[in-house]
Amino acid sequence: MTEIASLGEFGLIDRLTDGIELANQSSLKGVGDDAAVLEYHETEVLVTTDLLLEGVHFDLTYVPLKHLGYKSAVVNFSDVYAMNGTPRQITVSLGISKRFTVEHIEALYSGIRHACEIYGVDLVGGDTTSSRQGLVISVTCIGDAPKDKIVYRNGAKDTDLICVSGDLGAAYMGLQLLEREKIASVGQKDFIPKFEGKEYLIERQLKPEARKDIIAELDQAGIKPTAMMDISDGLSSELLHICKQSHTGCRIYEDRIPIDYQTAVMAEELGMNLVTAALNGGEDYELLFTVPLHDHEKVSKLPGVKVIGHITKESLGCAMITRDNTEIELKAQGWNPLAQK
């Protein structure tokens, strides 16, 4: 194992960024100057950023560094797709505490670089420093979209259909499973965690994907959503953002919320309410979007997209209709990163 101090900041950066090639035309100059230089003469520029802190956003006892790197990049790509854009560049800043070696940081970076390759994104800059505390990861993603393609949160209209991609709650159940096995492992030698039949949940938590494919499907189908977000804090919370910014209400139907079989089994096993997990779980990185009613036929044909309800007038509020036909008001019970633990 190589001590980071033996390389110094610039030695470490050289090693981590060795062999990086720029794939996007808009990346004129990457790592190695005071700033990266990008060219966006035809399209608008999208900028999003996420801060991930050890002990708050991730637990290295069960998150492999390569997966963490991959996820750190992908969650930012997801924000750009949620604007109906294409991610093009990222910068990665790391705060590294003493217990990490060069090989650890290389593993983290290999995940970031792998995500960049898969999604066609260039790593163009960052900052690397020591941390007195745990690992700090700050990623900024730059993307682009033609002006008339950008989808904001505030464009939903009364009668629009509410759609989600994929399924919900699995990432949250994956986290519960990882936490359970972590507790079970305490003090045990050669502990083997019980993940059989629950691989999907683990993958959703540790290695989420951004829905680049759904953005492409919508484009091919000639559908431009009226509002869109990615689901990072939970369906309820995100839907309330769209309704607040669009000055609308909404109705969603419990029996339409897409939930995977493994998620349901896990909720049963843990004695948790399945719908609550799907509504408030978060970290699914699926897309939540609204489309005009006249796109109903088109959107119904899209694989991996489900219509779960519709937008209403603001005065009607935001609610879910349960299986027994009761209206329950939607509340933002999603993950609150500022809650005092």
Please give the residues from 7 up to 26 whose contact with a copy of itself meets the rule CB under 8 A: 7-9, 12
330 binds a copy of itself (CB under 8 A): no
Total binding residues toward a copy of itself, as defined by CB under 8 A: 77
Interface with a copy of itself (CB under 8 A), residue from 23, 25, 130, 269: 130
Interface with a copy of itself (CB under 8 A), residue from 24, 58, 95, 206: 95
Nearest approach in angstroms of CB 183 to a copy of itself is 19
235 binds a copy of itself (CB under 8 A): no
The reply, when asked if residue 57 is annotated as ligand binding, is yes
79 Cβ contact partners less than 8 Å away, ≥ 6 residues apart: 48, 50, 141, 230
Helical H runs in 88-224?
A: 102-119, 170-185, 199-206, 212-220
Choices 44-52, 157-165, 169-177, 180-188 (CB under 8 A): range interacting with a copy of itself:
44-52
Residues 260-319 that bind a copy of itself (CB under 8 A): none
Nearest approach in angstroms of CB 196 to a copy of itself is 32
The reply, when asked if residue 15 is annotated as ligand binding, is no
Nearest approach in angstroms of CB 237 to a copy of itself is 9
The reply, when asked if residue 153 is annotated as ligand binding, is yes
Nearer to a copy of itself, 137 or 274 (CB): 137
Q: How far is CA 60 from CA 39, 63, 67, 136, in A?
A: 37, 5, 10, 12
- Residue 222: count of CB within 10 angstroms of its CB: 8
The DSSP annotation for 57-116 comes to TB-TTTS-HHHHHHHHHHHHHHHHHTTT-EEEEEEEEEEE-TT-BHHHHHHHHHHHHHHH
* Contact of 144 with 88, CB cutoff 8 Å: yes
Rounded to whole angstroms, the Cα distance separating 215 from 275 reads 26
339 binds a copy of itself (CB under 8 A): yes
Residues 215-234 that bind a copy of itself (CB under 8 A): 228-230
Q: DSSP class of residue 41?
A: S
Nearest approach in angstroms of CB 247 to a copy of itself is 14
* Contact of 256 with 307, CB cutoff 8 Å: yes
The reply, when asked if residue 167 is annotated as ligand binding, is no
The reply, when asked if residue 232 is annotated as ligand binding, is yes
122 binds a copy of itself (CB under 8 A): no
Nearer to a copy of itself, 55 or 120 (CB): 55
Strand ranges in 185-268 using DSSP code E only, listed in sequence order: 227-230, 248-253
The reply, when asked if residue 286 is annotated as ligand binding, is no
The reply, when asked if residue 79 is annotated as ligand binding, is yes
Three-state secondary structure call for residue 306: strand
Rounded to whole angstroms, the Cα distance separating 152 from 172 reads 26
Residues 141-200 that bind a copy of itself (CB under 8 A): 141-143, 147, 150, 152-154
Q: Which residues are annotated as a binding site for Mg(2+)?
A: 34, 48-50, 79, 127, 230, 233
